[in-house]
Amino acid sequence: MTQRVTIGELFPSTVSPAAPRRTPEQQQVSSPGSSTFQKIFQDQFIRFSHHAEVRIKERGIQLKPEQLEKLNKAIDKAASKGAKDALMIVAGNGYIVNVPNRTVVTALDGQSMNEHVFTQIDSAMFIS
């Protein structure tokens, strides 16, 4: 049976696109699977657990880009001090953050924080 190339198909199934060759050093820096890439990626972004996403929606918390940037800098500062799990208060809202993983575990609005006992944290930060 002969192979046919249809309109819109870039390559027949037996032909693969050419890729430039890279040295092992180039592959390590630019490959998404490498630990260097993942380290840089993890150091740049804040993740939100499913639980935190649900709490943010339930409580109507609005995170503005400048608040995320403040939270990001606070995580960097907490990490430099050796914090593991921190309560971070930004614009009247509280976030429990797993610092090594840069993950927001849960979120509380101002009303939810009243008379609330915070456990299993080793640090707290008030971010203005």
Q: How many domains does the chain have?
A: 1
> Binning pLDDT at 50, 70 and 90, where does residue 34 land?
low
Q: Please state, in angstroms and rounded to a whole number, the distance separating the CA atoms of residues 106 and 52.
A: 4
- Tell me if 15 is assigned to some domain: no
Q: Is residue 64 situated within a structural domain?
A: yes
Taking the complete model, does pTM exceed 0.95, yes or no? no
Tens-place pLDDT, residues 72-122 = 999 999 999 999 999 999 999 999 999 999 999 999 998 888 888 999 999
41 in a structural domain:
no
Inter-residue contact 121 to 75 (CB < 8 Å): no
